[in-house]
Amino acid sequence: MTPEGPKPDFAKGGGLIPAVAQDVLTGEVLMLAYMNEEALRATLETGYVHYWSRSKNRLWKKGEESGHVQRLHSLSLDCDGDALVVKVHQTGPACHTGNACCFFTHLHGTGETALGGLWATIEARRDAPAEGSYTAKLLGNENLRLKKVVEEAGEVLMAAKDHDAKALTYEAADVIYHLLVVLAAEGVHPRDVLAELERRRK
């Protein structure tokens, strides 16, 4: 909180403020819970996210029983002071059902991000016939998939050299796709790459 910014308005919600937990690496919305003043203070003091359980009427540390804790990355208050976004490093699934997030029931669309949806598609092609799927063909041919990464990277360089933003955008998407195929083939999750970028940023 900045000195001139809004302060948490716990009174508006009867002592509670809704807190949306978001994965800091992927941007995925994980869950919605509530904080009171005690939960907010415990979160800031310990570096692990605490909420107020409305059903149990007590303070609880996320993952206190399951081990699926949320390590605090950042905490932001909205302009009205009555809602929080908590960016976290999530250990294990966020939902008590075992799902990665609580928002797995989609009333419209799939809820996937562009990167997450592409990764899910690549993973789904593992057992597909190579004849009917370009991705499956790449997954089944190491030389081809590695060659394509080099080839597409070269196309990126040419587009950048020509200062062609449209071509650069197109070729960069090709590189990302082919790189994801290589990661999938080698058993490396994009989340691991994002975690490494976060480590370097720090």
Which class in CATH covers the domain with range 114-201?
A: mainly alpha
Q: What is the pLDDT of residue 69?
A: 98
Q: What is the pLDDT of residue 1?
A: 47
Domain boundaries, the chain: 11-90, 114-201
Let me know: does 10 contact 17? Beta carbons within 8 Å.
yes
The tokens of 51 are what?
């909420």
pLDDT at residue 41 in the model:
97
How far is 44 from 47, CA to CA, in rounded Å? 6
42 and 61 Cβ atoms separated by less than 8 Å = yes
The amino acid sitting at 170 is Y
The arrangement of secondary structure in 11-90, i.e. its CATH architecture, is Roll (3.10)
Residues of the chain with pLDDT under 70: 1-4
pLDDT at 130: 79
The CA distance from 34 to 38, in Å, is: 11
pLDDT of the residue at 92: 94
